[in-house]
């Protein structure tokens, strides 16, 4: 299949079982298949634009001539009256603060029924929850605000996807610089989960490197 399904179980695979050297099948089965597309993308070429369908993420490298997404450590103070730096709070209240963050886009395509019956979840490891912060754009009463969804003890977030929605845009900030006990590599996962327990059919992930912010 080279495209997402339009509806659930819209493709079939017929399977026949044979005994050794026998030309007549002893049993037959039909597998019903639903194809969905999920991708989690960031600016992997360091050009200021999100790159779609980035591949070979396991080969991203550190250093100025490397390749891979860079997350800036948001260590300035855009609000002069704030009591602490922006990477020490869980609020996003200004355009300047938003510009300090990297965009990460979750793309999902497939039958709405699938996304209605399973939980679309963005998650990070417990080890990374003090290294990154993630905000999700929300619209409420004709106003846009940014909800803090990952980091600072939050390791998973159930993404609410509207009918037909393809893109969910997140804004990511680095909270810590690489150190002797932190290589600078953080990993994000997007999974489609059954409401109670296991992963359904697909899981995507992307990486980022935490880098120094130039003021």
Domains recognised in the chain with CATH numbers: 1-35 (no CATH), 37-193 (2.60.40.1700)
Q: Cα separation of 62 and 20, whole Å?
A: 54
Which residues face 65 on adjacent strands? none
What pLDDT is attached to residue 130?
A: 92
Q: What pLDDT does 197 receive?
A: 57
CA Rg value for the chain: 21
**pLDDT tens-digit profile, the chain (215 residues):** 678 888 888 888 899 999 988 888 899 999 988 888 888 888 776 666 676 665 666 666 666 666 677 788 888 888 888 788 888 888 887 888 888 888 899 999 999 998 888 899 999 999 999 999 999 988 766 667 889 999 989 999 999 888 888 889 999 999 999 888 888 888 899 999 887 655 555 555 555 555 544 43
């Amino acid at each position: 299949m080279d495209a997402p399904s339009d509806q659930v179980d819209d493709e079939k695979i017929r399977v026949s079982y044979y005994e050794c050297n026998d030309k007549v099948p002893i049993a037959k089965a039909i597998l019903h298949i639903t194809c969905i597309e999920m991708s989690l993308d960031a600016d992997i070429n360091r050009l200021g634009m999100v790159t779609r369908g980035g591949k070979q993420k396991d080969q991203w490298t550190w250093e100025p001539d490397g390749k891979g997404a860079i997350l800036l450590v948001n260590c300035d103070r855009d609000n002069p009256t704030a009591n602490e730096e922006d990477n020490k709070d869980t609020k996003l209240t200004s355009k300047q603060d938003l510009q300090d963050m990297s965009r990460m886009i979750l793309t999902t395509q497939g039958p709405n029924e699938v996304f209605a019956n399973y939980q679309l979840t963005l998650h990070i490891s417990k080890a990374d929850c003090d290294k990154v912060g993630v905000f999700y754009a929300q619209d409420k009463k004709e106003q846009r605000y940014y909800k803090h969804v990952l980091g600072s003890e939050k390791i998973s977030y159930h993404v609410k996807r509207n009918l037909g929605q393809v893109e969910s845009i997140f804004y990511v900030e680095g909270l810590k610089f690489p150190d002797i006990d932190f290589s600078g590599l953080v990993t994000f996962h997007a999974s489609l989960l059954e409401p109670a327990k296991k992963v359904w059919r697909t899981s995507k992930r992307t990486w980022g490197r935490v880098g120094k912010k130039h003021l």
